[in-house]
Structure 1
Amino acid sequence: MTKTNNTAELILDTAQAFVQEFGFNGFSYSHIAEKVGIRNASIHYYFPNKEDLGVALIARYLKHFHAASAQIDAEATNQLDKLRRFTLIFSGPVQQNCACLSVMLSSDLATLSEEVREGLATFFTANLTFLERVLEQGRLEGELRFDGSAQAQAHQFLASLQGAQLLSRGFRDANRFDMIATGLLSALTAS
């Protein structure tokens, strides 16, 4: 990776951390510059405006999700294990009393550009597509049990994990996320 790529990635890493803690509107390029130790102009070189930064953040987040879901598919032993590993993606930010990028961007949705909103919708669609496939396969194999469509169950599962992040953050208690995630998984295996 070149120095240019390193700087751009460092800016994105720092911006993502700020979004996950304060929201998209809770920081400026000055905050990033101070944290990274560069000038504002350097950030504008890579991301001319905050919209460009938002587009890059959500595109990178989607790329990371695709890599994580492919790893889950490759390593998990069954559909329940895939769901358990999926919940671990969402538990990471909770440990730092943050929420995932998609949750925080959703809370700022009214102020985001159309391109960032579309990227966010694409990210959610990728999550839902993965969940729907895993849930349907788990039901076909007799491993998972739920009423209704896999599509509806996927929406409920994702919404529950996102809500669990917010509750955990509000209470400053990561155990609440774990309790909710465990309950979601248990409900899918109950007779």
Structure 2
Amino acid sequence: MNKNTEEVILDTAQSIVQEYGFNGFSYAHIAKKVGIRTSSIHYYFPNKEDLGEALIVRYYNNFMASIAQIDAETTDNIEKLRKFIQLYSGPVQEYCTCMGVMLATDLASLSGQTLDGIAKLFTSNLDWLKRVLDEGRNEGQLNFSGSSETVAHQFLASLQGAQLLARSFRDYNRFNLIAEGLIAALI
């Protein structure tokens, strides 16, 4: 195994959260999938709140790296939005949703730091979208009425809803239908 135990635990927990939600698993589920004892999980994450906090920090960092990569790969704002959509399409292919959406469904039972992490993740999504929308409109690539803040919220909410619809119907094409409509509405 090339990854260390902590990474494997986080990878496994993330895939479980994206499928069942944060309240849909125990350390025993992770231990069984990884092939370790629950005490090994407790060594890295003394309680489930610690695990939740580590998951959202890692997810946030990965998201920030992904949008930095998008920015580095292209200056075309339409292409940036398409690549952003691809970030959200990944979980859909396995009929899951992004971890932020799944954690948000369990807000009432999450620790304060995890809640703050979710808010930070969504704020970063919205800030990046707003910037890309503003740049695209200023450069004449994107055409929309209203504020970029409103459109950013609509864009993000549509992608999150598209994930849920695709998952509910077990039909990836429903995600694509909504994603294509988002781009078409802006050009």
- Shorter-normalised TM range: over 0.9
* 1:14 matched to 2:20: no
Q: CA deviation at 1:77?
A: 4.2
Letter in 2 for 1:21: E
Distance 1:6 1:125 in 2: 31
- The whole-number CA distance in structure 2 between the counterparts of 1:77 and 1:117 is 33
Question: 2:41 is matched with which residue?
Answer: 43
Normalising by structure 2, report the TM-score.
0.98
Matched, 1:106 2:104: yes
Q: Residue 99 of structure 1: SS of its match in structure 2?
A: coil
Q: In terms of mean alpha carbon deviation, does 56-65 or 74-83 score higher? A: 74-83
Inter-partner Cα distance in structure 1 for 2:81 and 2:144: 14
CA RMSD between the two structures: 1.2
- SS of 1:86's equivalent in the other structure is helix
Which residue is equivalent to 2:31?
Answer: 33
**Matched residues in 2 for 1:183 and 1:79: separation?**
16
Structure 1 stretches of at least 4 aligned residues deviating more than 2 Å after TM superposition: none
Q: Which amino acid aligns with 2:175?
A: F
- Which shifted more, 88-97 or 109-118? 109-118
Residue 148 of structure 1 aligns to a residue whose secondary structure is coil
The unaligned stretches of length 5 or more in structure 1 are none
Give the SS at the match of 1:64. helix
Of the structure 1 ranges 132-141 and 76-85, higher mean CA displacement relative to structure 2 is found in 76-85
Q: Aligned residue for 1:147?
A: 145
Report the Cα distance in structure 1 between the residues aligned to 2:74 and 2:146, rounded to whole angstroms. Answer: 25
From 59, 79, 85, give the equivalent of 1:87: 85
CA distance in 1, matches of 2:104, 2:31: 25
Report the Cα distance in structure 2 between the residues aligned to 1:22 and 1:40, rounded to whole angstroms: 19
- Report the equivalent of 1:187: 185
Shift of 1:158: 0.3
Residue 76 (structure 1) shift? 2.0
d(CA) in 2 for partners of 1:76, 1:12: 31
* Alignment partners' CA distance in 2, 1:45 and 1:148: 51
Alignment correspondent of 2:66:
68
Provide the residue aligned with 2:115 in structure 1.
117
Cα deviations across residues 4-26 of structure 1 (Å, max 9, x unaligned)? Answer: x7100000000000000000000
Percentage identity across aligned positions?
63
Count of residue correspondences = 187
Q: Deviations over 1:127-178 (max 9, x none)?
A: 1111000000000001101111111111110000000000000000000000
Three-state SS of the structure 1 residue aligned to 2:96 is coil
Q: Which residue number corresponds to residue 156 of structure 2?
A: 158
**TM-score normalised per structure 1:** 0.96
- Specify every segment of 5 or more residues in structure 2 that has no aligned partner in the other structure, as ranges: none
SS in 1 for 2:186: helix
- CA distance, structure 2, for counterparts of residue 89 and residue 13 of structure 1: 17
